[in-house]
C-alpha cells in the first residue's frame, strides 16, 4: 500500500488513532507519564470523571458501566486506551482493504469499516483486559498480597459507586497499587480524590469495599472489625 493511499480520509480515520496509540506507548515507556499505573488520572487528564459525575444522576452511571465493561479497574487505563486505539486502527484499516475491493466507493465502505472497527475495538479490548488481568499481578506484588491491603488508606482515583470504582495507594514497601473497589449497597458514592479505607476484600472479583476516611487518626482495625 502506498503512502498516498494511507493519507486518504477513509484511511486517516483509522491510521491517526493507531499512531496516537504508538505515541502514547512511547510516553509511557519513556517515563514521561511517571508510572504506567499512574500515567492517566481520569479527572485531570481526560475529564471522564467530570463526565461520570455529570451524568451519574440522570443516566444511571452508563459511562462508568461502559468503561467497566472495557476492563477499566481490572487493568490500568493506559492498557485500555492503547488497546482501543490499536484495535480501532488495525481493524478499520483491514476492513477498508477487504471491503474496498468489493465496494469501490470510499464513502460507502468507510461506513462499513467504522462499524466493524467499533465492534472489534470494543470486543477485543474487553478480551485483552480480561486476559491481562488473569496473568498480571495487578495489585499484588512480590512482597504483599491483595488481602494484606485490607485496613490501608487509599485515595479514590475517580467516583466509587456500588458497581464501579478504583483507588490508589502506596503499600508499606512503597509499591504503587491501584485496586478495584466498591461501596456497599445503599451507601453514597465517593467522589474522586477522597481518602478512603479498604475495609473488606472480596477474593471472588478481586475488589474491596471501601468507606470514606472520616475518622483520621482512629484505629483502622476497629473500622474493619465491623465487617
Residue 115: per-residue pLDDT: 94
Give the CA radius of gyration of the chain: 20
Residue 221: per-residue pLDDT: 39
Please report where in the chains the cell 504506567 appears, as a residue.
36
**Bigger pLDDT: 54 vs 66:** 66
The distance from CA 57 to its chain's CA centroid, rounded to whole angstroms, is 21
Residue 49: per-residue pLDDT: 41
| Bridge partner list, 208 | 181, 201
Confidence band (pLDDT; 50, 70, 90) for 214?
confident
Reading the block at residue 155, the C-alpha cell is 485515595
| pLDDT of 211 above 70 | yes
Angle at 130 between CA 204 and CA 168, to 5 degrees: 70
* Among 65-79, 111-125, 191-205, the least confident range: 65-79
Q: What is the mean pLDDT of the chain?
A: 76
Residue 81: per-residue pLDDT: 86
Domains and CATH numbers, the chain: 3-39+76-135 (no CATH), 146-224 (2.40.50.140)
Residue 195: per-residue pLDDT: 92
**Bigger pLDDT: 133 vs 33:** 133
- The model's pLDDT over 15-54, given as tens digits with 9 standing for 90+, comes to 999 999 899 888 877 755 444 444 444 443 334 444 444 4
Residue 106: per-residue pLDDT: 87
Element (H, E) at 89: helix 77-99
Q: Which residues contact 28 (CB under 8 A, 6 or more apart)?
A: 36, 39, 78
Amino acid at each position: 500500500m502506498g503512502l498516498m493511499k494511507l493519507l486518504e480520509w477513509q484511511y486517516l480515520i483509522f491510521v491517526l488513532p493507531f499512531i496516537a496509540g504508538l505515541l502514547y506507548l512511547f510516553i509511557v515507556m519513556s517515563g514521561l507519564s511517571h508510572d504506567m499505573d499512574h500515567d492517566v488520572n481520569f479527572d485531570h487528564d481526560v475529564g471522564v470523571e467530570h463526565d461520570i459525575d455529570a451524568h451519574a444522576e440522570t443516566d444511571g452511571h452508563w459511562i462508568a458501566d461502559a468503561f467497566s465493561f472495557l476492563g477499566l479497574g481490572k487493568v490500568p487505563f493506559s492498557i485500555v486506551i492503547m488497546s482501543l486505539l490499536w484495535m480501532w486502527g488495525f481493524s478499520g484499516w483491514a476492513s477498508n482493504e477487504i471491503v474496498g475491493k468489493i465496494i469501490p466507493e470510499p464513502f460507502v465502505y468507510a461506513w462499513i469499516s467504522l462499524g466493524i472497527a467499533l465492534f472489534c475495538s470494543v470486543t477485543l479490548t474487553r478480551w485483552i483486559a480480561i486476559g491481562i488481568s488473569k496473568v498480571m499481578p495487578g495489585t499484588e506484588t512480590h512482597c504483599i498480597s491483595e488481602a494484606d491491603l485490607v485496613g490501608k488508606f487509599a485515595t479514590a482515583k475517580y467516583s466509587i459507586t456500588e458497581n464501579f470504582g478504583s483507588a490508589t495507594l502506596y503499600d508499606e514497601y512503597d509499591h504503587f497499587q491501584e485496586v478495584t473497589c466498591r461501596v456497599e449497597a445503599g451507601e453514597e458514592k465517593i467522589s474522586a480524590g477522597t481518602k478512603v479505607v479498604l475495609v473488606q476484600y472480596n477474593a471472588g472479583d478481586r475488589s474491596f469495599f471501601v468507606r470514606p476516611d472520616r475518622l483520621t487518626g482512629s484505629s483502622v482495625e476497629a473500622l474493619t472489625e465491623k465487617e
